Amino acid sequence: MGLRLGIDLDGVVADFNTGWITAYNDRFGADLALEMVNSWDSPVELTHFPDMPAFWAWARDHGGVSVFRYLEPYPGALDTLQALDRAGHDIIILTAKPAWAVHDTLGWISDHRLPMRAIHFTEHKHTVACDIYLDDAPEHVRALANQRGSAATVCRFVRPWNDPTDGAVDIHDWDEFHELVKDREEVVTR
């Protein structure tokens, strides 16, 4: 019996930080490195942008597409999602994106042939029922753990910009997530 897997995109499947850092360095001649990103507000802390709205205004247009269009997938992400799909699990994408990034996100998903059964563009990920959630955003992990933790497994993809969350299982890489899903599947099928 397959499980419903609620999977976030940016910071989990797609490497948003490397994407915006590369674009920023190219555009402004900066020398930012991925290792410098250690908080959720790093785009403001590390750049000349005075606030997140200014950062998002810049991220919106890069030669007719947004910064979301050409992100690289994290190692192991696509292979693991394909394996989970082949095992009969329903992959449900849960992503919080600005409206202007939806088309580029859909293009990215298509380019990478991401196996999925549904996609929800929402800030309220906890409203989408899944058996297991995987996210990296501190506020989403907290909301999922608070709203869904008793009925589902909530996983925090450990990144420098998030901290442990009560009620969430720490996941460090895609292999670890794959094992967790297999273990949960065995419990459900007993």
Q: Where are the alpha helices (DSSP H) in the chain?
A: 16-28, 42-45, 52-59, 77-86, 102-111, 138-148, 174-189
In order along its 190 residues, the chain shows pLDDT tens digits of 699 999 999 999 999 999 999 999 999 999 999 999 999 999 999 999 999 999 999 999 888 899 999 999 999 999 999 999 999 999 999 999 999 999 999 999 999 999 999 999 999 999 999 999 999 999 999 999 999 988 999 999 999 999 999 999 999 999 999 999 999 987 765 5
What is the torsional sign of CA 67, 72, 120, 176?
negative
Tell me the domain boundaries of the chain.
4-15+71-189, 16-59
pTM value?
0.95
User: Selecting from 3.30.70.330, 3.40.50.10260, 3.60.9.10, 3.40.50.1000, what CATH number does the domain 4-15+71-189 have?
Assistant: 3.40.50.1000
Q: Which of 61, 72, 59 is nearest to 112 (CA)?
A: 72
Angle subtended by helix axes 174-189 and 77-86, to nearest 10? 20
